[in-house]
């Protein structure tokens, strides 16, 4: 086992430098508002959702990466769907900034793994765990935003119906909704109004919003509005029925969440308990735990334990997730 202070110091210095560059870029970069980033959401090409116009050449502030690398990352992000993921999470980051954040997480995780275990293989495994951290964070942001959107969607639809009865057009009702509702409802409907003012049809603008917010309840609303625009009918009455249906769905989902909260918490505890216990034993008696990652039998035991822990958590999660 080699303990080289030079390697540790160099790695730690690189990590601090990347943190400094990332924080400097984040603090100094101007926060582009909705109208400045609208071009990411205002075009469809070949029936597929396209974020960037064909003549888009990137922003002037490319962040911590060079311009050529940032452009390459933007092209790759368009193909891989990263821009869609960032928009769904409402993260005002360029692909270059997201890549820098990912690399930083990998380096810091590998450094922590090396400082704790002093084993190269475990440091590499810790770096692989750090590679997953940004993805989990992105998914968490997306789910939190969708949940906040769904909680207020029924009220927003009811307000749309009332505005239509008062004589507003649908565009005026959406504009009123963007001014009075809290985010993310207000943010998304403001984007819809801006896109329509730039020349997009209502169907395209609503489908773009549905692409940014993949919600089943929003899908029902968009479908109802698009069908009413083609065949006619009383849109206010349709929206009232839809708002009642969504309220009942939210109520039932809340009851299910309360009834399954204990089981879900048990899944989290049972998953975290062996990991925390292993770390505690490693801190109290390192020589005793070194057998787990310095022998073949120990690696077999760790692999089997990890497989069983993950399988148990996924099984519990599958059982408590009830679709409404």
pLDDT tops 60 at residue 194: yes
Q: What was the pLDDT predicted at 66? A: 58
Q: What is the pLDDT of residues 117-154, one digit of tens each?
A: 777 887 888 888 888 888 999 999 999 999 899 888 99
Rounded Cα gap, residues 16 and 10, in angstroms: 10
Residues in a beta bridge with 160:
none
Q: What's the fold here for domain 145-246?
A: Receptor-associated Protein (1.20.81)
Q: What is the pLDDT of residues 74-112, one digit of tens each?
A: 667 666 678 788 888 888 878 778 888 888 888 988 888
Q: What is the DSSP string of 264-312?
A: HHHHHHHHHHHHHHHHHHHHH-HHHHTHHHHSHHHHHHHHHHHHHHHHH
Backbone angles phi, psi at 9, to 5 degrees: -65, -40
Q: What is the pTM of this model?
A: 0.68
Half-sphere exposure of 151 (CA within 13 A, CB side): 11
Q: What is the pLDDT of residues 196-216, one digit of tens each?
A: 988 888 889 999 898 889 888
Q: What was the pLDDT predicted at 54? A: 35
Contacts 24+ apart (CB under 8 A), 65-74: 65/96, 65/97, 65/99, 65/100, 69/96, 70/94, 70/95, 70/96, 73/99
38-52, 180-194, 223-237, 274-288, range with the lowest pLDDT = 38-52
Mean pLDDT highest for which of 44-48, 50-54, 240-244?
A: 240-244
**Where are the chain's structural domains?**
5-143, 145-246, 261-320
Q: Which two structure tokens, joined as six digits, stand for 69?
A: 């690398």
Rounded Cα gap, residues 29 and 23, in angstroms: 10
Query: Which candidate, 32, 31, 38, places its Cα nearest to that of 191?
Result: 38
């Amino acid at each position: 086992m080699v303990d080289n202070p030079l390697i540790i110091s160099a790695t730690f210095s690189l990590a601090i430098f990347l943190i400094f560059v990332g924080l400097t870029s984040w603090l100094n970069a101007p926060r582009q508002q909705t109208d400045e980033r609208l071009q990411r959401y205002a075009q469809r090409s070949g029936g597929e959702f396209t974020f960037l116009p064909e003549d888009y050449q990137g922003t002037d502030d490319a962040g911590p990466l060079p311009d050529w690398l940032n452009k390459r990352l933007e092209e790759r992000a368009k193909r891989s769907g990263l821009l869609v993921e960032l928009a769904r999470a409402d993260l005002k980051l360029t692909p270059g900034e997201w890549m820098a954040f990912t690399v930083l997480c990998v380096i810091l995780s590998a450094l922590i793994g090396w400082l704790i275990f002093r084993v190269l293989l475990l440091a590499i495994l810790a770096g692989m765990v750090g590679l997953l951290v940004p993805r989990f964070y992105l998914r968490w942001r997306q789910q939190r935003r969708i949940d906040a959107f769904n909680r207020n969607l029924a009220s927003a639809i009811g307000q749309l119906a009332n505005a239509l009865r008062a004589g507003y057009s649908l565009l005026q009702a959406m504009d009123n909704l963007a001014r009075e509702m809290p985010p993310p409802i207000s943010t998304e409907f403001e984007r819809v109004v801006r896109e329509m003012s730039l020349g997009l049809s209502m169907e395209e603008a609503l489908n773009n919003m549905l692409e940014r917010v993949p919600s089943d309840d929003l899908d029902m609303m968009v479908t109802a509005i698009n069908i009413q625009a083609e065949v006619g009918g009383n849109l206010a009455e349709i929206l009232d029925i839809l708002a009642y249906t969504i309220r009942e769905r939210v109520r039932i989902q809340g009851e299910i969440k309360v009834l399954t909260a204990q089981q879900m918490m048990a899944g989290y505890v049972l998953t975290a308990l062996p990991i925390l216990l292993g770390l505690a034993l490693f801190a109290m008696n390192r020589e005793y735990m070194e057998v787990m990652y310095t022998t073949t039998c120990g690696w077999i035991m760790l692999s089997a334990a990890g497989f069983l822990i993950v399988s148990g958590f996924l099984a519990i999660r599958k059982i408590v997730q009830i679709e409404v």
